[in-house]
Amino acid sequence: MLKRGLSVLLLLTAIASTTLTFIVGHSGAKASWEDRIKASDSKRLSDLPEQDQALVDQNLSAGVIKLSISEVKKHNSRDDCWSIVSGKVYNLTSYVQQHPGGIELISSICGIDGSAAFSNQHGSSAKPNNVLTGLLLGSLGAEITKQKSTTIIDPPKSNYGSKAEDEDESESEDGDRD
> The pTM is what?
0.56
pLDDT tens track for 108-160: 999 999 999 998 888 888 888 888 888 999 999 999 988 887 777 777 665 55
Answer whether residue 45 is part of any domain.
no
pLDDT tens track for 31-67: 555 555 554 555 555 554 554 444 433 444 458 999 9
As for how many domains the chain has, the answer is 1
What is the Cβ-side half-sphere exposure of residue 174, based on CA atoms within 13 angstroms?
0
141 contacts: CB under 8 Å, gap ≥ 6? 52, 66, 67, 68
Is the Cβ–Cβ distance between 67 and 140 less than 8 Å?
A: yes
What is residue 125's predicted lDDT score, i.e. its pLDDT?
A: 82
* CATH classification of the domain holding 93: 3.10.120.10
Q: Which domain holds residue 134?
A: 54-156
Answer whether residue 170 is part of any domain.
no
Answer whether residue 171 is part of any domain.
no
| Whether pLDDT at 167 is above 50 | no
Cα distance between residue 72 and residue 52, in whole Å: 12
Answer whether residue 35 is part of any domain.
no
- Provide DSSP, 57-71: -GGGGGTEEE--HHH
